[in-house]
Structure 1
Amino acid sequence: MKRIIILSIASMLSIASLLAAGGENDKAIAKNDTANYTEILGKIVDSKTAEPVIFATIVITETNIATVSNTDGEFILKIPKGKESGTISFLHLGYENTVINISELNGGKNFVKLRAAALPIDEVVIRSLSAEELILSALNKVKDNYSINPEMQTSFYRETIKQRKKYVSVSEAVMDIYKAPYRTTFDSDRIKIYKGRKSRDVKKMDTVMVKLQGGPRTSLMLDLVKNPGDVIGPEMMKYYHFKLNGITMIDNRETYVIKFDQLPNVEYPLYSGNIYIDVETEAFAGMNFGLSEVGLPYASEVLVKKKPSNLKIDIEKGHYLIRYRKGADAWYLNYVRSELALESKWKRKLFKSDYHIMLEMAVTDRDNENVTKIPMKESLKSNEVFTDKVTSFEDDNFWGDYNTIKPDESIEVAIKKLNKKVKRRQ
């Protein structure tokens, strides 16, 4: 009988990323028509190095319809009928924005090239505030910079588990989200599965089965502007060292970069990385950080929710990415990603097992007019396991006109292999 490890990423993150892009187009992209939408496919690369630009935002300009590029720099964006005359914007940290007419996109495997944004530091006026004061000022302006009204969001969620560098579980869903206002403590975000599927090779997973507890709920908790927790919460700042580390460009906007790490005498798993704050509005534009090496030895005790007593778990890495995007009237959560690497070993057994766990969620559409709070009984709970809630992969056209994150090539190969194994067992 398999033993089960339950990982509570939510408790791992009383905390938990950041997004953008820009550049030059090389008529990149393949275009496929269907009944209700046009499907745009492409790859985003650096204009000088030709390296893929990962986690870039791709958005139909002046709409709320968006997606992100994957770890190969590739993306799929579905254009609703009636919007083919518009443009697509490509945004990423440190790059110039690129805007391309949808009508200019033609067939074939082409590329969107992004140019690095030039920003001589001596041309930018850096305020006299310290890094800590800048963070506190940004927290005080949350009510001014983020939505004070509830809205409905559509998002695409994916979680994967690798064992010894091979995928053993891939699960994903289109999610409905009730996004509560940022300025209230009397209302909370709610999320439910609209449509989901999974592919998993349970027999492959040794004698240990790893499950993520509360994955979709965790993706909402990673909205650190709403849930400051262990990273930017005012009461936690005394446990960190902060440093203003210059200015970069995000979405053609000057953005402060604040570097941080936990203090060496703190015996608890905290974090290190970068916080990005918009210069003009002092809104949080994103965070990119991971478990600090200082606190890593204490991580297993906090992050592992449940395990057999004779099994040793070592957390080797945790990394988190949060990105926000400025809309016409406010800043909005755009993308979150969480990665966790761990090692397990049974007592009196010779070999160890390595696992890599990832979850990501991209907000692909927003609606602030037709807002209906998701009933509590339909909302996913923090103690529920997402893979237990969805069915197996079947139809290649499963997602229809919903925008998703294009799977990395390794995930696409894994899904095909896992599905073949499942069919052989049926």
Structure 2
Amino acid sequence: MQKTKKLLQTQFFCFMKTTLSTLAIAFTLAAITPAAMAQTKTAPLSNPKYDATLLVRSAFRNLDKNYCTTSNFVSAYYKETITKDNKAISLNEAILDINKASYMNAKNDQVIIKNVRGSNPALGIDPLLVKLQGGPNTALKLDIMKYPFLGCDSDNLTEYYTFEYEAPVNIDNKLFYVVRFDQKYPADDALFRGKMYIEANSFAIGKVEFAMNVERRGDAYLNFIKDKPSHLRIAVKSANYTVGYKEYEGKWYYDYSRSDVKFAASSKKRSINSEYMVSSKMVITDFNCKGYVADKGSIMKSTDILAEKKVAGDDSLIWELYDELMLLALL
């Protein structure tokens, strides 16, 4: 048992550092010179008589029935924003094609950038340069039905999490059970708390809202920061996430995701004392059931930084239309 626990912990740290770097957003900090889900309503539905843990297990066991078993080609709009003391210092957007891998294998999703534009007015001015690594790739890693569930394997949920029912709700004319979860042992490595919405008929997970338990953890920044100057102190204030799915012809598909990570940075050496928010959002804009073989040279890597990609300089109306679509999806 001890060996198994140690292995899981090792996988968790690797998971946070690499494959789920939106949850553990890989920031590069360098010192530089001078479908939407409709509004929820209370549902005329009673919770099951069995334990909430069994319902969650059933949702994962029905993965092959409820989620796509083949790869799919989708288009998406992605947006990332970095603010300092509530003022935007970086804004980058991208129109994407994505080869969404099957939910039944370990293949990663592939992101191809079709167009990109950005504005980084603080570059070379702010004493601290903040960059988000991975961009669209990290947004896709929030798909907890495709990637390991919030720091652990779905077969070992009860070792790390507790589950309790809340009142069922009606979302977009579908009835959902609501299950609240939190990590079982708060003194252990920081995991997550939140709510998952499980569709009452299919037991498909349609939406998950969650947060990393970073509060009052002085070492929480280790999960997020890839590189920083030694004199810089980092305190993570909050890390909130949402992922939503949409049903199409009897199957559920990744539809949108959002992450918001807030941290304070201070350094007496460089007179730095500010609060930063790193936000990223993605929404699927078009869907094709057929898979797509992408040119390897065009695939965005998990180590790439969108802000460093060539800016197209396209100020056409299409960006505003995509932004409106994203606002509707994330209501």
Fold in common (TM above 0.5): yes
CA RMSD, Structure 1 to Structure 2 (Å): 2.6
Q: CA deviation at 1:383?
A: 0.8
Q: CA deviation at 1:252?
A: 0.9
Alignment map for 1:142-291 (pairs within 5 Å): 142-185=63-106, 187-203=107-123, 206-230=126-150, 233-234=153-154, 235-291=156-212
With over 3 angstroms needed to count, the CA separation of the structure-2 counterparts of 1:161 and 1:14, relative to structure 1, is: closer
Query: Shift of the alpha carbon at 1:248?
Result: 0.6
Task: Please name the residue that 1:119 is paired with.
Answer: 43
Partner of 1:375: 295
Contact conserved, 2:134 with 2:301, CA < 8 A, in 1?
A: yes
CA shift for structure 1 position 208 = 0.5
The percentage of aligned residue pairs carrying the same residue is 28
Q: Specify the SS of the correspondent of 1:147.
A: coil
Q: Match of 1:138, SS?
A: helix
2:139 and 2:282 in contact (8 A); partners too? yes
Residues 1:299 and 2:220 aligned together: yes
Q: Distance in 2 between matches of 1:144 and 1:130?
A: 22
Indicate the SS of the match to 1:230: coil
Q: Which runs of 5+ in 2 are unaligned?
A: 1-16, 26-34
Offset at 1:291?
1.7
Deviation of the 1:204 alpha carbon: 7.2
Partner of 2:324: 406
Contact map agreement 1:312 1:347 (CA 8 A) in 2? no
Q: TM-score, normalised by structure 1?
A: 0.65
- Once residues 218 and 126 of structure 1 are traced to their aligned partners in structure 2, the CA distance between those partners, rounded to angstroms, is 34
Any conservation in 1 of the 2:196–2:208 contact (CA below 8 Å)? Answer: yes
Change (3 A) 1:240 1:216: same
Assess if the C-alpha contact under 8 Å between 1:296 and 1:316 holds in 2. no
Structure 2 vs 1, CA of residues 241 and 247 (structure 1 numbering), >3 Å: closer, same or farther?
same
* Structure 2 residue identity aligned to 1:339: D
Residue 13 of structure 1: which of 14, 23, 29 is its match? 23
* SS at structure 2 position matched to 1:282: coil
The verdict on how the C-alpha distance between 1:125 and 1:229 changes in structure 2, with shifts beyond 3 A counting, is: closer
CA distance in 2, matches of 1:93, 1:238: 33
Structure 2 letter corresponding to 1:406: E
TM (normalized to structure 2)? 0.83
Distance 1:406 1:362 in 2: 11
For residue 147 of structure 1, report the CA deviation from its aligned partner: 0.9
Per the alignment, residue 99 of structure 1 pairs with none
CA shift digits 1:222-276 (9 cap, x unpaired): 1111013325732343222211112111221110101111234433221111111
Q: How far did 1:179 drift?
A: 0.8
- 1-structure distance, mates of 2:216, 2:197: 23
Larger Rg belongs to: 1
- Measured against aligned partners, the alpha-carbon deviations of 1:124-159 in whole angstroms (never above 9, x if no partner) come to 242223121111111110110011121110000000
Distance 1:399 1:230 in 2: 32
2:22 and 2:118 map into 1 onto residues whose CA distance is 24
SS at match of 1:289: strand
Q: Which runs of 4+ in 1 moved over 6 A?
A: none
Contact 1:177 1:189 in 2 (8 A): yes
Q: Quote the Cα distance in structure 1 between the aligned partners of 2:54 and 2:125.
A: 48
| Counterpart AA for 2:110 | R
Q: Deviations over 1:288-344 (max 9, x none)?
A: 111225674432111111111111111111000100111113001111000010111
Is contact 1:269-1:297 (8 Å) kept?
A: no
Distance in 1 separating the partners of 2:252 and 2:303: 30
Q: Deviations over 1:155-214 (max 9, x none)?
A: 0000000011111111001100001111123x3310110111001113475211000000
Check 1:212–1:344 CA distance in 2 against 1; reply closer, same or farther (3 A cut): same
Secondary structure in structure 2 of the residue aligned to 1:309 = coil
What is the distance in 2 between the residues matched to 1:176 and 1:316?
33
The total of aligned residue pairs comes to: 301
Q: Which runs of 5+ in 1 are unaligned?
A: 1-6, 16-56, 59-90, 95-116, 410-426
* Distance in 2, Cα, partners of 1:398 & 1:119: 38
- Quote the offset at 1:395 in angstroms: 2.4
CA deviation string 1:345-402 (max 9, x = no partner) = 1144555111111000000110114x322233321111111111141644233549xx
1:321 aligns with 2:242: yes
3-state SS of 1:229 partner:
coil
